Structures are given as C-alpha cells and as structure tokens.
Amino acid sequence: MEGAIPELDHRFELPGTAQVVEGNGGLSKVRITCPEAVGEMYLHGAHVTSWKPVGGEEVLFLSSQSRWAQGHAIRGGVPVCFPWFGGKADDPTAPAHGFVRTRAWQLESIAQVGGAVTVSMFTESDEGTKRWWPAEFRLVHRATFGSELSLELVVTNTGGTSLRFEEALHAYHRVGNIEKTRVRGLDTVHYFDKTDSNRKKMQHGEIVIVSETDRVYLDTRDAIELEDPVLRRRTRVTKEDSRTTVVWNPWVQKAHSLSDFADDEWMQMICIESSNVSDFAVDLAPGQQYKMKALVRVANF
C-alpha cells in the first residue's frame, strides 16, 4: 500500500491543490486544498471524510473511534452503500450496506473546476463481488469539493442481464447538539420506522430527534433543510434521481452498542441520506447507466 501512494500522487496530484497522501491506518487518501474548500476522500470505500467550505467549520461528522483498517467501514463522513441497504434480505451473513464501502477503489481522475476540485473513483465487479452478488457493474463516485459539496454515484450495468440495486450516500452531518437540531422538508411524507417493526407512518411537521431514529422516507424529491442553532448554520441537501431519504441517529443505547462510536458522539451527528432503497430500488437493463446526485450547501446565521 505504501508504495502505491507516491505513484498515485505522481500520476494524479495537482500541485498545491490536491495530493494523494497516507491517511489514518496507512490508508490512501486524496487531500484537497482549493480556493473554495478543504476536504479529504479515501480510496477505502471512495469515502468522503471531510468537507470544510472556506470560512466555515467542518460539515461532516467523523467518529473518534472509527476503525481505519481493511475490512472495516469508516464511521462517519459519507459511506457509499451499494448494492443493498441495511442487511441483505436473502443472506444474513452478507456485509451490511453492501460490499463497496470496505473495498479499495481506484482513482480515476482529479480535476480543478474553477475554485473547486472534483475527485472521481471507481470500482467494478470481480470474483470478490460475485461471491455476494452475481451482477456485473461499474460504479463511480464523483465528489466535487467547493463552496458546495456535490456527490454523484453512477452505476453502469456492464453485464448481459438486467440488475436491481439499492444505493445510499450515507452522509453524517456534524451538529452542535442533536436535541436542538431541526430537520425540515419532509412534512406529510410517509416513512418506514425501522425502530418500530418497519411500520409505515406519516411525518407531521419538522423532525425533532428525541430517541433512536431510523426512518426511510418514501418518494421524496424536495430539498431537506437541517437547522443547527448551536453551530449557527443551515445545511440544505438537494438531490436528483433519488426517491428515498433516510434519517438516522442511534441515540444513547445504540451508540453504546457500536464499538466504533464514542458513547456521547450521538449528540454531535445526524445522518441525512440521499438514496434509492426499499420499494424504490433501481432496475437497470444491460448497458444502461443510472446517476444519483446529492448537493450540500451550508449557510451561517
């Protein structure tokens, strides 16, 4: 792994703007310092772990207890869930949220776009993925670090038969105090409540987190707004070709049961996940491509 970092940096670096360097646990990461933002993206899982727009604070939450190692997902940032979400329905031994978040992805390109930088990484089907899922695919995660954080997940069916997949950009947003945070934009939307036997319910008004929360909001297209009076900022998440939104906070007991989460860190985070899961899984014919996008903007007040 060490030998690969200088070689990748030699091939892809933008001097003074983007470098391939050794990150936590010796894992390769791209470090971005551009006029509009600073950020980081690991090749392990094509995982965005940091985005700080110029003049602002860190937007993403990262657990202090995250395990930085092969075979383990990074806890925080933006994990990529694919080709299933949660547990695999027909195989309880399969990795949760699919297999790509613990894979070593390949760097495709790093490009400066005005005052921002776009990093593209990809992974493809091989014998390792076919052990869990027979489909042939190519998956690209393209992240643009600028005054906004733009994330694109592009799935191509490279095989001869159609495939069906779930996907999520499992973004952990850093907040000052979860109990004072409000989430807007999902009023009157139906959701499955995973903390209550997956019962279908309807959202009334804004979301206030008062206990363990794990919800899949259905047929969502509108922007979501996260209001944080402690950090004095509003985060707005807009998306394209995503029909579900997952909202998650583990609260006290669940956080205690997660070894890669410090006991009190549940107070500093909320997941707002642009996704296509459950009844909104995507069917893709041979040769077809599907692109899901999420755009994060932050305004201080």
- Give 190-206 pLDDT, tens digit per residue: 999 999 999 999 999 99
Domain of 206, in residue numbers: 4-300
Span 178-188, pLDDT tens digits:
999 999 999 99
Burial pattern 28-59, b for ≥16 Cβ within 10 A else e, equals bbbbbebebbbbbbbbbbbbbbbbbbeeeeeb
Q: Quickly count helices (H) and strands (E) in the chain.
A: 3, 23
Q: Does residue 3 carry a pLDDT above 60?
A: no
CB 223 within 8 A of CB 237: yes
Catalytic residue, candidates 36, 167, 265, 273 = 273
Q: What pTM did the predictor assign?
A: 0.97
Q: Does residue 100 carry a pLDDT above 80?
A: yes
Decide if 206 is catalytic.
no
CATH code of 18's domain: 2.70.98.10
- Residue 2: its pLDDT value, please? 43
Span 25-55, pLDDT tens digits:
999 999 999 999 999 999 999 999 999 999 9
Q: What value does the mean pLDDT take over residues 268-293?
A: 98
Decide if 204 is catalytic.
no
**Amino acid found at 285:** A
Q: Does residue 275 carry a pLDDT above 80?
A: yes
Catalytic residue, candidates 47, 97, 170, 173 = 170
Q: Does residue 1 carry a pLDDT above 50?
A: no
Q: How many domains does the chain have?
A: 1
